[in-house]
Amino acid sequence: MLNLVLFGPPGAGKGTQAEYLIESFGLNHISTGDLLRSEIAGKTDLGLEAKKFMDKGELVPDAVVIGMIKSKLDSNKDAKGFIFDGFPRTVDQAKALDELLNNNGTPVSGMLSLEVEKQELIDRLMLRGKSSGRADDQDQSIIENRINVYNEKTLPLIEYYRPQNKHFGINGMGSIEDIAGRLKAVVSKL
């Protein structure tokens, strides 16, 4: 079983590259961002609560996203493996994921960390903001807050996975196809 953590700052291309990995390796895709946005679209209590954090570029509380992951894993027990996109984003989320996967005897295989320059992240997200309707993509100060939150709370995860020899840094600059090729080369060896 292949369990991949697709990692990187906002705008690094996680959602974009997940599509290629699903196609190449036949894995189930779990994006906490997509799950939260579908809760918002459905106007559920969880969605309304999450929206307050997301619109400001803050992280949604750990308990909420961990609960969503648990129910996705429980309802996909026959999967060949998973791509976790945008999760974990804190060390506590990473520990919770390890616990959930270890219960199934299928640990994280690798953390694929997309590396992209800050100005490129801002440019990509501002461009998406013109058509996505996402409040968190429309304002440069909110985008910068998301990048700051990433640096403070999410980047330390590299030091969680590196000692386990599971961290793989990947150049996330250039064309979508070139980056997909780099990712595929790493995943093929896992």
Q: Give the residue numbers marked as catalytic.
A: 14, 89, 128, 134, 146
Smallest distance, Å, CB 24 to ligand B4P? 16
Smallest distance, Å, CB 55 to ligand B4P? 8
Q: Is 138 in the site for ligand B4P (CB under 6 A)?
A: no
Q: How far apart are CA 12 and CA 65, in angstroms?
A: 20
Q: How far apart are CA 131 and CA 186, in angstroms?
A: 32
Q: How far apart are CA 167 and CA 46, in angstroms?
A: 32
Q: Is 60 in the site for ligand B4P (CB under 6 A)?
A: yes
Q: Which of 27, 54, 111, 157 binds ligand B4P (CB under 6 A)?
A: 54
Q: How far apart are CA 82 and CA 109, in angstroms?
A: 10
Size of the site for ligand B4P (CB under 6 A): 28
Two structure tokens written together for 86: 């945008």
Q: How far apart are CA 118 and CA 90, in angstroms?
A: 20
Q: Is 3 in the site for ligand B4P (CB under 6 A)?
A: no
> How many CA within 13 A on the CB side of residue 94?
22
Q: Is 87 in the site for ligand B4P (CB under 6 A)?
A: yes
Task: Give residues in contact with ligand B4P (CB under 6 A).
Answer: 10-16, 32-33, 36, 53-54, 57-60, 65, 86-87, 89, 93, 124-125, 128, 136, 146, 176, 179
